[in-house]
Amino acid sequence: MLVVILIVATLCGCQNIENSPLLNTSAPEDINITDSLGREITIPSSPEKIVSLAASNTEILFAINADVNLVARDEYSDYPPETADIPSIGSLYPQVNTEVIVNLEPDLVLAAGITNPEDVTALDKLGITVFTTSIASDLDDIYGDIKNVGTITGYSDNANALVKDMQTRVQDIKDNVIKQSTIPSVYYEIDASEPSKPWTPGDGSFIDILITTAGGTNIGAISDEPYWQISLEQLIYEDPDIIVLGSSKYGGQTKSTVLNRPGWETLKAVKTGHIYEFDDDLVSRPGPRIVDGLETLANIITTIESKK
């Protein structure tokens, strides 16, 4: 479950730019660009057939209106709902189905930091143009990916407008955090297949950064591992103010299941009822909806702040 959640890798700001024109603003010449794998590649201007190998990239394409050129997607690309109308190339594991992609004759394949580099190499050897976005470690990396995708697809104006909107929303959150009188402690649950030893994000992880930006402190930061299993004893010792269940969508965890976990009844968050189900896609997919996730976390933290 953890692997699925980490790989697969709110509506107001991250839907398509409603006021932006549905126009391709690409340059008349081919584009030379270096991707996250350090590959210098040439991308034909105005690619008309695009295949996405990651949900984050698919969401970027829709958000900047470049989805009009999307001819296929990976099986985890399920947002926005319109992705259901785009043919799926199936699973990328254990390896991408190169035959299906070759038959689509795409002008561009959008891979991601989580894409197996061997798959990128295989497609490259078959003469397919592949651009790989980053393994985002912060919001700036996501902004950069959005701008790059906008550049290579010909929708740079829309991409720049989207990034500007995201940055404004993030700054609003930071401004509100400064006004907080306290910083609530947060336990974020990634996977609870072992309820007595669930997975949580550690210090410096992307989710850790988002929790901090939203005005909370991540109790998982006691470990420098990006993702690790915290024991019940450690969890009781840290005694978080808030429990956020990123394990709800894919792991089926709810406030009720947490209340019924042996030993968890001693936790402050359980006693006060500050347990929140959360869509992990909002923070595990490095795309436009990351700010939706940040705003949701901030709202949760603000709620408990206002009750103190």
In a domain, 14, yes or no: no
In a domain, 175, yes or no: no
In a domain, 13, yes or no: no
Return d(Cα 283, Cα 206) in angstroms, integer: 8
Same domain as 163, residue 31:
yes
Same domain as 251, residue 158:
no
pLDDT recorded at residue 93: 83
pLDDT recorded at residue 129: 95
User: Looking at the chain, which runs of residues are DSSP E strands?
Assistant: 31-34, 40-43, 50-52, 70-73, 108-111, 130-132, 185-189, 199-201, 217-218, 227-229, 242-245, 275-277
In a domain, 82, yes or no: yes
Same domain as 204, residue 129:
no
Domains of the chain: total? 2
CATH number, domain containing residue 70? 3.40.50.1980
End-to-end CA distance of the chain: 35
Strands 40-43 and 31-34: antiparallel
Domain with 210, as residue range(s), is 182-306
In a domain, 78, yes or no: yes
Decide which of 110, 136, 167 is a domain's last residue: 167
pLDDT recorded at residue 30: 87
pLDDT recorded at residue 23: 46
Q: In Å, how far are 234, 278, 279 from 294, measured between CA atoms?
A: 26, 11, 11
Decide which of 103, 132, 167 is a domain's last residue: 167
Exposure string of 13-27, with b = 16+ CB inside 10 Å and e = fewer, is bbbbbeebeeebbbe
Check: CB of residue 267 under 8 Å from CB of residue 234: no
Return d(Cα 128, Cα 132) in angstroms, integer: 13
The pTM for the full model equals 0.88
Task: Tell me the residue type at 275.
Answer: I
Same domain as 129, residue 187:
no
In a domain, 100, yes or no: yes
Same domain as 247, residue 213:
yes
pLDDT recorded at residue 199: 98
Check: CB of residue 79 under 8 Å from CB of residue 64: no
Check: CB of residue 225 under 8 Å from CB of residue 217: no
Q: Helix or strand or coil: residue 147?
A: helix
Same domain as 152, residue 191:
no
pLDDT recorded at residue 301: 94
pLDDT recorded at residue 15: 41
Same domain as 203, residue 161:
no
Same domain as 72, residue 199:
no
pLDDT recorded at residue 7: 41
Which helix (H) or strand (E) segment holds residue 268: the answer is helix 268-272
pLDDT recorded at residue 307: 55
Q: What is the pLDDT along the chain (308 residues), one digit of tens a residue?
A: 444 444 444 333 344 444 444 445 444 578 999 999 999 999 988 899 999 999 999 999 999 999 999 999 999 999 999 999 999 998 888 889 999 999 999 999 999 988 999 999 999 999 999 999 999 999 999 999 999 999 999 999 999 999 999 999 999 999 999 998 899 999 999 999 998 999 999 999 999 999 999 999 999 999 999 999 999 999 999 999 999 999 999 999 999 999 999 999 999 999 999 999 999 999 999 999 999 999 999 999 987 755 55
Same domain as 38, residue 160:
yes
In a domain, 12, yes or no: no
Return d(Cα 107, Cα 262) in angstroms, integer: 55
For residue 80, whether the previous peptide bond is cis, meaning omega lies within 30 degrees of 0, is yes
In a domain, 18, yes or no: no
